[in-house]
Structure 1
Amino acid sequence: MTTTITPPVREILLDCVRTATAAPSVHNSQPWKFRVRGGRVDVYADSSRHLRVLDEEGREQLISVGAAVFTLRLAIRSNGYRCDYTLFPEPGEPDLVARVTANRPAPVTAAAEALAAAVPHRHTNRWPFAQIPVPREALDRLRDAARREGAVLAVANPAGRDAVLRLARHADQRLRRRPGYRDEFARWTGDRVRNDGVPPRAAGPWDALESVPVRDFTEVSAQHQNGEPFEPYPTVLVLTTASDRPVDWVRAGQALQRVLLTATWQDLATMPISQPVEVPAVRWLLIEPGSGLFAQMVLRVGYGRTTEGTPRRPLSEVLMPSHDSRTDGSVRARRRASGGSV
């Protein structure tokens, strides 16, 4: 007996792509494009949105694209289909980061349903958090979420937390002195009406206690936020991988998004602390040299106020023609690696 596999119709996959665009990205640059063909979706890195001063190697861009890949996988799964994916499937197309293929129908699990429901509610929260400890059970769920995507999530102890925050403040100062940094930063911030970047309403205040290194997204805007005291002892997490290749950066992005959605499902607020991983010399100091791990992202988690999301590009801007196999840019290296399934 032959079993016929019926992939989802194109309209369902287009809706899944629209959901994938809700993924987080550095400066809300949304550096991705998608091509839908039959039952598969190819996910590309958009080189025109690569922050070349802040992210010379393209590491953070691939983390952002990885977050979109996970969100796409989750959207397909929550629509009642299993899916497989392969990372860097075509050596001759270096911008092609992932190929996600929807196959046989399958019942939606409670876990997939819960994470999918969290997607529209996940927002970066740059405001003070309540001085309430995050329960150990909640942190265990976040660690498990990272593990499921092949990453390791470490919770910093008090000494480690203070060290990470010092390194973050030091990295922020170094970034501000980097040639071209302020001009690039200004491109993605400000008062202009747009469908990407970080608008002033999402910027949050600066920390009056100077304990949490919040990036000042209003410094190039006419609207400046006042200072507010942040929690003096934030919960700080470090997301790591066992290797540090481009494929690991994509996997880190998938793990990051699963962690963020798991946090959202638990009513936890989250804020990436990106500065220490954006300066290579500082990034290497985040993890013990003998651990065999590589830091990919630092997160602050806690209980915070409800925040608004940042704008998103419409589907028409991120969808590539289904008949054209060419890409429109170049990621730095040609990579290929196997992925997995949801």
Structure 2
Amino acid sequence: MERVVPAKGLYASDAPIRIGVSSCLLGEQVRFDGGHKRSDFLTETLGGFVEFVAVCPEIEIGLGTPRESIRLIRGADDADTIRLVGNKSGLDHTDKMNAYAARRTAALGREDLSGYVLKKDSPSCGMERVRVYAPSGMATRDGAGLFASALMRRYPSLPIEEEGRLNDPHLRENFVERVFAYRRLRSFFSSRWTLGGLVQFHTVHKLVLMAHSPKAYSELGRFVANAKRLERDKVRDDYELMFMDALKKLATTARHTNVMQHMLGYLREHLDKTARGEMVELIDDYRRGLVPLIVSITLFRHFVREFDVAYLREQVYLEPHPKELMLRNHV
């Protein structure tokens, strides 16, 4: 069966998609105990479609391996002050790590990254829920690694996720979808783009946005309609931030169901009563959790090809990421 190639191809680039990653997740033996935390999903699955840029902040500030473990400690006089110190020695690495993080995150801007995967729980790389110790020794899980914090501040629209959260099929699919969407968006804005082109970009992502946030889709539509009043740099920066923020919202079963019912409206004139009934039943089976999303999407793609429905053929929603990743088989 011929592969559907939606309009996302208009924004493709010959350069590989590049993703930053904590080195230990690729199997590099850089952890404090001399070990690693190799991720099969990253190395065996996603690695076939992207290039990784490996980073280990602790090694890169000069800490050896094996080494003393480090932890985040809250200041005794100022609860907002977080220090990065040796677990036993109390040696303070805060200033060195903060200076390194500023330099390294700036340098990563030249790596053309489309995403980043961080090591969970790490006092340097953890994205959230990292242990922060009070002077008394009690810990709360409300911190973020110093390097991870600098990365998220510098690149607010970059898809960033922790490897532990990628074990959740919905979070995994969301992250990879955002990586490919970010790449399309950056490829578009790196060209000699026009407002008409932005309208087209927004249009082919309509169903994607509706699955994540109908409200955001409407807000972005109004933004695009009024974009001619704004400076080009502001249009680019604001649209990127709003677009990627919308995709951070997890697509839900209810919203996927609404999107498919919307798509069915474009097929009604082409399908007989029996075929329409089967599609309605299949969508309801998905809504009730009886079949994964890929089942109904595959049939939609078949009908789009068979009847050459232009509007649906151009929708990125039908294939937001490579089908070989099989991400929609589990959501």
Whether the TM-score (by the shorter chain) exceeds 0.5 is: no
Q: Into which bin does the TM-score normalised by the smaller protein fall? A: under 0.3
Between Structure 1 and Structure 2, the one with more helix by share is 2
Between Structure 1 and Structure 2, the one with more strand by share is 1
Does 1 or 2 have the higher relative contact order (CA < 8 Å, sep 6+)?
1
Length-normalised TM-score, structure 2:
0.25
* Larger Rg belongs to: 2
